[in-house]
């Protein structure tokens, strides 16, 4: 870890990089941002924005379940609950009984309410309110490695299954006719999103995690004409807003997570404005 | 085509960077003017900041900062900002209140190196958090009294000690230590002494000044305490309901009996069942006063409307002006409000 710190100090001769917590946060942004940019592309394509939002909110219930069961590390209960939640939501969504936005809304509000009911027992919700906004500055090296690990898994998954994933997002029936394991790939993808969301929610926060997933990809979609551009721009925007947001929050004394989202949102509006000139 | 797009993307990013740079140079943080030899003492929350500021008053080369300067409510839901982290990194001494008041620091504190942490609650006994008496066993006032006293626990011996099922070291939702010790003037004096002693050990050169300041400040607090001791003697047979954990200590100072304590945060509300139960209890005991903090007093006002009791808004001294005598002023105001209860007491 010290070698990495040393390299960062050499490469980035700025005032803020002197502090270990800024180095950790910087590294976290460098891992989380491309990860979110990547996942966001498919989430936006598949119109799953609301889905990932619901997933973020279920973190509250995961944490509450962990506390009820007396799990020492609520991160584990959040992770398990997130995965189950994503799979169940996906199953009901595909059963086609109720329209998907209704199902998601029901799940989202239900899980948020359960979480709030349990966590606010005895008027102690404030203990957990940190989860709402997140705190990227308190990330530690072991947690960074955990994020790096899931980042690598995501890259591998992308390498192996992206074409299938893309085919499914274009047309499910087409993918089925090509004998692709549609349900499996789809479930794997939502599990991956669930794991990424649950592992990073403590740093990013429930209220803004979805913005980070959606905004870079949405901005990239405004400009790109093919999948390659789409990915490249999404990751670029994601990293850019992450770093700029972090640096701005340092100098202007504002919370880092929301600042990153503000930058990402402004990028989205800018790309929306220049879109007519690019896509002729 | 792709190249054009890429250049547009980079142009956008460049514009954003330039605007940000402008913002930073216009509104950005100016570095704190501290010379290298200065000792930086960071106080975690307002009450300990007031102690530290008083102790370091007139001491050269010591710089006192309040970590949670912008805090308005209780410290339980505070979030460290980048600036706070920075301040902690540059600090030589960190003075904390203790008693789980600084949960927001725990994560960061592990990473701090070269900072000496001074716990002002060393050797001071805590009341247990959310101690509350139930309807069934509160009909007998003596029994009730006993319970309140047994909630008094010594910090050092509390590892094994349990109070009616409440373990102070258990971090479960319902049971935590009540850390607002500064609202009891006697405990506050002990805090002053503890911080002065710790500062004197670390910064031996100024030890005498710290001790002299401590003596002066403790005297001031003691005078205030004594002044109201007689005036408030009548309050001892008064029963109150508290809407903030902090006021347990204020009641503890002058032995005011607490019938029930409701700990409310800005985010949580009383459930209908709790409210009804509380209203019955209040009526049964004919409780005349509710002690609440202005910011979170809505429930108290609501209940008062139901039962005809009066709400008294006290200051938990979790935030306030940056003045040396801020504690004494706020405390005097609290005591005056209590004194008014006595006067109007039927």
Average pLDDT over residues A242-252: 87
Lowest mean pLDDT among A18-27, A32-41, B170-179, B185-194: B170-179
A172–B contact, CB cutoff 8 A:
no
pLDDT tens per residue across span B5-49: 888 889 999 999 999 888 888 877 655 555 567 888 989 889 999
B158 compared with A73, residue with greater pLDDT = A73
A83–B contact, CB cutoff 8 A:
no
Residue A267's pLDDT is: 94
**ipTM of this complex prediction, to 2 decimal places:** 0.78
Quick check: B136 pLDDT over 80?
A: no
The angle, 0 to 180 degrees and rounded to 10, between the axes of the packed helices A49-69 and A100-119 is 30
Quick check: B244 pLDDT over 70?
A: yes
**Residues with Cβ within 8 Å of residue B329, at least 6 apart in sequence:** B323
A2 within domain boundaries: no
B339 vs chain A: nearest CA distance in angstroms? 30
Q: Where are the alpha helices (DSSP H) in B91-184?
A: 103-109, 141-150
A211 within domain boundaries: yes
Q: Where are the alpha helices (DSSP H) in B232-287?
A: 247-253, 272-285
The answer to whether the CB atoms of B12 and A271 lie below 8 A apart is: yes
Which residue in the set B29, B111, B265 is minimally distant from A123, CB to CB? B265
Q: From the candidates A23, A126, A222, which should be mutated to test the interface with B, based on the most B CB atoms within 10 A?
A: A126
Average pLDDT over residues A75-84: 90
Q: How confident is the model at residue B319 (pLDDT cuts 50, 70, 90)?
A: confident
A6 within domain boundaries: no
Lowest mean pLDDT among A7-21, A35-49, B68-82, B296-310: B68-82
- B15 interaction partners in chain A (CB closer than 8 Å): 270
Quick check: B156 pLDDT over 50?
A: no
A82 vs chain B: nearest CA distance in angstroms? 22
Read off the CATH number of the domain in which A219 is found.
1.10.3470.10
- Closest residue of chain A to B270, computed from CA coordinates: A123
A269–B contact, CB cutoff 8 A:
no
Q: From the candidates B3, B5, B8, B9, which should be mutated to test the interface with A, based on the most A CB atoms within 10 A?
A: B9
Alpha-carbon distances of A98 from A102, A103, A184, A191, B228, rounded to whole Å: 7, 6, 22, 22, 68
Say if residue B111 is exposed, middle or buried (CB neighbours under 10 Å; 0-12, 13-18, 19+): middle
Domain count, chain A: 1
Quick check: B167 pLDDT over 80?
A: no
A229–B contact, CB cutoff 8 A:
yes
Q: Which residues 98-127 of A have a C-beta within 8 angstroms of B?
A: 119-127
Q: How confident is the model at residue A158 (pLDDT cuts 50, 70, 90)?
A: very high
A5–B contact, CB cutoff 8 A:
no
Pair type for strands B62-66 and B93-96: unpaired
The answer to whether the CB atoms of B16 and A267 lie below 8 A apart is: yes
- A21 interaction partners in chain B (CB closer than 8 Å): 85, 89, 108, 111
- A137 interaction partners in chain B (CB closer than 8 Å): 80, 82, 85
Domains of chain B are: 39-123+186-220 (3.40.50.1980)
A17–B contact, CB cutoff 8 A:
no
A263–B contact, CB cutoff 8 A:
yes
Counting one residue from chain A and one from chain B, the pairs whose CB atoms sit within 8 A come to: 114
Say if residue B265 is exposed, middle or buried (CB neighbours under 10 Å; 0-12, 13-18, 19+): buried
- Closest residue of chain A to B108, computed from CA coordinates: A138
Q: Residue A233: name the closest of A43, A34, A47 by CA.
A: A34
Per-chain mean pLDDT for chain B: 76
* CB distance A67 to A74 below 8 Å: yes
Q: From the candidates B111, B112, B167, B173, which should be mutated to test the interface with A, based on the most A CB atoms within 10 A?
A: B173
B318 vs chain A: nearest CA distance in angstroms? 16
* CB distance A147 to A200 below 8 Å: yes
The answer to whether the CB atoms of A255 and B83 lie below 8 A apart is: no
Residue B160's pLDDT is: 31
- A129 interaction partners in chain B (CB closer than 8 Å): 77, 267
- Closest residue of chain B to A71, computed from CA coordinates: B172
- B267 interaction partners in chain A (CB closer than 8 Å): 120, 125-126, 129
A100 vs chain B: nearest CA distance in angstroms? 31
- A271 interaction partners in chain B (CB closer than 8 Å): 12
A152 within domain boundaries: yes
pLDDT tens per residue across span B50-65: 999 999 988 888 888 8
Residue B266's pLDDT is: 45
Residue B51's pLDDT is: 93
A21–B contact, CB cutoff 8 A:
yes
Q: How confident is the model at residue A202 (pLDDT cuts 50, 70, 90)?
A: confident
A4 within domain boundaries: no
Parent domain of A133: 14-273
A101 within domain boundaries: yes
Q: Which residues 45-64 of A have a C-beta within 8 angstroms of B?
A: none
Average pLDDT over residues A121-144: 76
A61 within domain boundaries: yes
Q: Name, of A160-174, A230-244, A251-265, B316-330, the range with top average pLDDT.
A: A230-244
* CB distance B276 to B299 below 8 Å: no
- Closest residue of chain B to A16, computed from CA coordinates: B86
Residue B97 Cα to chain centre, angstroms:
8
B297 compared with A103, residue with greater pLDDT = A103
* CB distance B40 to B65 below 8 Å: yes
Q: From the candidates A123, A208, A225, A272, which should be mutated to test the interface with B, based on the most B CB atoms within 10 A?
A: A123
Residue B194's pLDDT is: 92
pTM across the whole model:
0.65
B238 vs chain A: nearest CA distance in angstroms? 26
The answer to whether the CB atoms of A252 and B29 lie below 8 A apart is: yes
Q: Residue A16: name the closest of B275, B251, B82 by CA.
A: B82
Say if residue A11 is exposed, middle or buried (CB neighbours under 10 Å; 0-12, 13-18, 19+): exposed
Quick check: B158 pLDDT over 60?
A: no
pLDDT tens per residue across span A99-128: 778 888 888 899 889 888 888 776 666 667
Tell me if residue B195 falls in helix, strand or coil: helix
B88 compared with B153, residue with greater pLDDT = B88
Average pLDDT over residues A136-160: 89
A271–B contact, CB cutoff 8 A:
yes
Which residue in the set A19, A119, A236 is minimally distant from B86, CB to CB? A19
Q: What is the 3-state secondary structure (H, E, C) of A211-246?
A: HHHHHHHHHHHHHCCCHHHHHHHHHHHHHHHHHHHH
- B77 interaction partners in chain A (CB closer than 8 Å): 126-127, 129-130
A53 within domain boundaries: yes
The answer to whether the CB atoms of B108 and A21 lie below 8 A apart is: yes
B267 vs chain A: nearest CA distance in angstroms? 7
Q: Which residues of A154-180 are buried (b: 16+ CB within 10 A; e: fewer)?
A: beebbeebbebbebbbeeeeebeeeeb
- B89 interaction partners in chain A (CB closer than 8 Å): 19, 21
């Amino acid at each position: 870890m010290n070698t990495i710190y040393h390299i960062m100090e050499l490469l980035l001769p700025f005032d803020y990089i002197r502090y270990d917590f800024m180095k950790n946060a910087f590294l976290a942004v460098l891992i989380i941002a491309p990860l979110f940019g990547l996942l966001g592309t498919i989430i936006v394509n598949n119109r799953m924005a609301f889905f990932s939002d619901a997933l973020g909110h279920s973190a509250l219930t995961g944490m509450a379940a962990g506390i009820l069961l007396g799990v020492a590390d609520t991160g584990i209960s959040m992770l398990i609950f997130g995965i189950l939640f994503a799979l169940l939501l996906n199953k009901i969504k595909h059963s086609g009984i109720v329209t998907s936005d209704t199902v998601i809304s029901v799940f989202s509000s239900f899980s948020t309410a359960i979480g709030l009911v349990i966590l606010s027992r005895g008027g102690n919700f404030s203990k957990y309110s940190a989860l709402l906004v997140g705190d990227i500055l308190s990330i530690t090296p072991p947690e960074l490695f955990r994020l790096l690990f899931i980042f690598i898994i995501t890259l591998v998954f992308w390498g192996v299954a992206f074409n299938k994933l893309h085919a499914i997002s274009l047309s499910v029936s087409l993918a089925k006719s090509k004998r692709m394991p549609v349900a499996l790939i789809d479930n794997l993808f939502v599990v991956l999103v669930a794991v990424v969301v649950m592992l990073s929610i403590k740093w990013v926060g429930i209220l803004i995690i979805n913005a980070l997933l959606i905004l870079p990809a949405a901005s990239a979609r405004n400009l790109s004409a093919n999948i390659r551009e789409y990915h490249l721009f999404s990751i670029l925007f994601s990293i850019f807003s992450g770093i700029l947001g972090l640096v701005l929050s340092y100098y202007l004394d504002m919370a880092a997570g929301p600042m990153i989202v503000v930058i990402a949102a402004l990028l989205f509006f800018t790309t929306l404005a220049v879109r007519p000139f690019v896509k002729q | 085509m792709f190249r054009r797009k890429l250049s547009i993307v980079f142009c956008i990013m460049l514009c954003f960077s330039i605007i940000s740079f402008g913002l930073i140079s216009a509104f950005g943080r100016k570095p704190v003017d501290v010379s290298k030899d200065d000792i930086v003492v960071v106080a975690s929350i307002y009450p300990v900041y007031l102690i530290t500021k008083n102790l370091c008053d007139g001491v050269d080369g010591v710089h006192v900062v309040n970590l949670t300067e912008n805090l308005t409510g209780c410290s339980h839901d505070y979030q460290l900002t980048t600036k706070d982290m920075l301040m902690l990194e540059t600090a030589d001494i960190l003075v904390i209140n203790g008693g789980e008041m600084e949960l927001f620091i725990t994560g960061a504190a592990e990473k701090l190196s070269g900072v000496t942490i001074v716990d002002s609650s060393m050797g001071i006994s805590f009341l247990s958090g959310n101690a509350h008496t139930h309807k069934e066993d509160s009909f007998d006032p003596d029994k009730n009294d006993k319970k309140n006293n047994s909630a008094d626990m010594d910090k050092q011996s509390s590892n094994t000690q349990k109070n009616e099922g409440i373990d102070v070291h258990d971090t479960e939702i319902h049971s935590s230590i009540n850390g607002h010790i500064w609202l009891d003037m006697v405990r506050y004096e002990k805090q002053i002494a503890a911080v002065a002693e710790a500062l004197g050990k670390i910064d031996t050169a100024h030890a005498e000044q710290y001790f002299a300041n401590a003596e002066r400040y403790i005297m001031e607090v003691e005078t205030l305490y004594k002044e109201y001791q007689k005036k408030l003697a009548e309050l001892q047979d008064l029963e109150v309901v508290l809407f903030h954990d902090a006021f347990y200590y204020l009641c503890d100072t002058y032995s005011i009996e607490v019938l029930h304590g409701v700990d409310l945060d800005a985010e949580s509300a009383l459930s209908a069942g709790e409210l009804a139960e509380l209203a019955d209890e209040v009526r049964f005991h004919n409780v005349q006063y509710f002690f609440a903090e202005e910011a979170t007093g809505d429930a108290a006002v609501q209940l008062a409307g139901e039962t005809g009791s009066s709400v008294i808004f006290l200051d938990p001294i979790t935030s306030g002006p940056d003045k040396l005598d801020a504690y004494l002023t706020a405390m005097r105001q609290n005591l005056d409000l209590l004194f008014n209860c006595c006067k109007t007491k039927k």
